[in-house]
Amino acid sequence: MIDIKFLREQPDAVKENIRKKFQEEKLPLVDQVIALDAKVRKAKQEGDDLRALRNKISKEIGMLMGQGRKEEAEAKKAEVAAGAKKLEELEAEEAELQEKITKIMMSIPNIIDPSVPIGKDDSENVELERFGEPVTPDFEVPYHADILEKINGLDKDSAGRTSGNGFYYLMGDAARIHSAMISYARDFMIDKGFTYCIPPFMIRSSVVNGVMSFAEMDAMMYKIEGEDLFLIGTSEHSMIGKFKGQIVNEKSLPITMTSYSPCFRKEVGSHGIEERGVYRVHQFEKQEMIVLCKPEDSMEWYNKMWSYTVEFFRSLDIPVRTLECCSGDLADLKVKSCDVEAWSPRQQKYFEVGSCSTLGDAQARRLGIRTKGENGTYYVHTLNNTVLASPRGLIAFLENNVNADGSIRIPKALRPYMGGKELVVPAAK
Say what the pLDDT of residue 51 is: 76
Q: What is the pLDDT of residues 161-183, one digit of tens each?
A: 999 888 999 999 999 999 999 99
Q: What is the mean pLDDT of the chain?
A: 91
User: Which pLDDT tens digit goes with each residue over 115-165?
Assistant: 999 999 999 999 999 999 998 999 999 999 999 999 999 999 999 999 988
- Cβ contact 386:286 at 8 Å: yes
**C-alpha span between 35 and 26 (Å, rounded):** 15
Residue 4 confidence (pLDDT): 93
User: 10 Å Cβ neighbour count for 228?
Assistant: 12
Higher pLDDT, 224 or 71: 224
pLDDT tens-digit profile of 191-216? 999 999 999 999 999 999 999 876 67
Provide φ and ψ at 276, rounded to 5°: -75, -25
pLDDT at res. 78: 73
pLDDT greater than 90 at residue 312: yes
257 pairs with which residues across the strands? 195, 290
Q: How far is CA 403 from CA 131, 144, 312, in A?
A: 22, 13, 22
The reported pLDDT for the residue numbered 273 is 40
Residue-wise pLDDT for 245-293, tens only, equals: 999 999 999 999 999 999 999 876 544 445 678 988 999 999 999 999 9
Q: Does the domain at residues 122-424 carry the CATH identifier 3.40.50.300?
A: no
100: left (phi over 0), alpha (psi -120 to 50) or beta: alpha
The CATH code belonging to domain 4-105 is 1.10.287.40
Distance, CA of 415 to CA of 311 (rounded, Å): 17
| Full DSSP string of 294-318 | -GGGHHHHHHHHHHHHHHHHHTTT-
Q: Give the pLDDT confidence score for residue 82 in this predicted structure.
A: 73
Long-range contact set of residues 407-412: C-beta below 8 Å, sequence gap at least 24: 408/147, 408/151, 408/173, 408/177, 409/317, 410/177, 411/315, 411/316, 411/317
User: The whole model's pTM is what?
Assistant: 0.89
Span 4-57, pLDDT tens digits = 999 999 999 999 999 999 999 999 999 999 999 999 999 888 888 777 777 777
How far is 241 from 336, CA to CA, in rounded Å? 21
Measure Cα distances from 308 to 17, 313, 375 in Å. Answer: 30, 9, 33
Q: What is the pLDDT of residue 271?
A: 46
3-state secondary structure of 345: coil
pLDDT tens digit string along 384-412?
999 999 999 999 999 999 999 999 999 99
Hey, where are the domains in the chain? 4-105, 122-424
What are the phi and psi torsion angles at 195 (to 5°)? -80, 130
In the predicted model, is pLDDT for residue 74 greater than 80? no
